[in-house]
Amino acid sequence: MNTHNYLLFVFLFSCAGCSSLSINLPYGRLESPETNGQWRVRAKVGVEPSHRMMITADASDRPEPELDEPDHDPASIVAWGFGVGLTEFLDVSLKTGISLTSILDFDVPIMVQGKIQALGDNHRESDKGNFSLAFSAATGTSTTTESGDQDGQFGDGGHDWEATASTSVADIALILGYRINPKILLYGGGYLTRYWVQTNIEHEEADDGDFPKESYEVRNHGDVRGFNFGFQFDFTKVVGLMLEANHMTFEWSHDHVPGYTDLQGGIAFIVTFPK
């Protein structure tokens, strides 16, 4: 067996018994207060902070899965997005990403965002001394599904199971910025994000009849409040780089999930065109 096939075998074998259910709750910003300008398109790719929550370590467990003590950890995602200026001071964008901690789980929400610039010149027209102020609002959703059977654990007494976590997101932010020279924009602001998560787990009847068909449902929500500070360096009006520090406070509706604070950073490359 060559190395490639061996690694593939180990990977498939190690995942064959995977029965945990997790979700990804990103809170990265990397958002400029300067809108693109009418009909200009911006593409962005980078690494942003996130929050990964394991809803249950074993969704297949009988007589019922443990759903009262979800676990959580800071995480990171590779994020990308595309936006277009509908007017000189109104952008609409689409953004999502993929987890760095579990690259085969496409559990990062797909977000649609609108941004309105209330003060200052947009990115195309901005120059040294430009003070900018913008408001953004976004919404999105993701669905994570895991499934399997318990024949390996219970033999003929095993059962099929499927677990789904549906996440909805709403986000609002205030963003301020100031250009200290034509190429460097300092920016920062505050934001509030809410997540709603509905978990559904279906267990089929065990093959030996010892366990009947069962369904489990849990609904929770969480809030992230925070502020960020960063800078955008424009090599040209087309190509740029963003670096950011992000401080957040996380609170979850479940009593067994304590709130916590975290400080993380993010980086993104941006391309805005036409010039």
127 lies in some domain? yes
pLDDT tens sequence across 85-135:
999 999 999 999 998 766 556 789 999 999 999 999 999 999 999 999 999
Give residue 52's pLDDT band: very low, low, confident or very high (50, 70, 90): confident
183 lies in some domain? yes
Q: Round to whole Å and give the CA distance between 69 and 250.
A: 16
Q: Round to whole Å and give the CA distance between 190 and 242.
A: 17
pLDDT tens sequence across 146-163:
888 775 455 455 678 999
58 burial type by CB count under 10 A (0-12 exposed, 13-18 middle, 19+ buried): middle
Mean pLDDT score across all residues of the chain:
87
176 lies in some domain? yes
Q: Round to whole Å and give the CA distance between 56 and 69.
A: 8
DSSP state of 157: G
Distance of CA 106 to the CA centre of its chain: 10
223 lies in some domain? yes
What domain count does the chain have? 1
41 lies in some domain? yes
Domain that holds residue 200: 19-273
Judged by average pLDDT, the poorest of 23-27, 77-81, 171-175 is: 23-27
Give the residue with greater pLDDT, 211 vs 51.
51
3 lies in some domain? no
139 lies in some domain? yes
87 lies in some domain? yes
pLDDT tens sequence across 12-41:
333 444 688 888 888 888 999 999 999 999
* Largest Cα span, the chain: 75
| Identity of the amino acid at 64 | E
pLDDT above 90 covers a percentage of the chain that reads: 59
43 burial type by CB count under 10 A (0-12 exposed, 13-18 middle, 19+ buried): middle
pLDDT tens sequence across 191-210:
999 999 999 999 988 776 77
Tally the C-alpha atoms within 13 A of residue 190's C-alpha that lie toward its C-beta. 3
Distance of CA 208 to the CA centre of its chain: 41
Write out the two tokens for 93: 């964008």
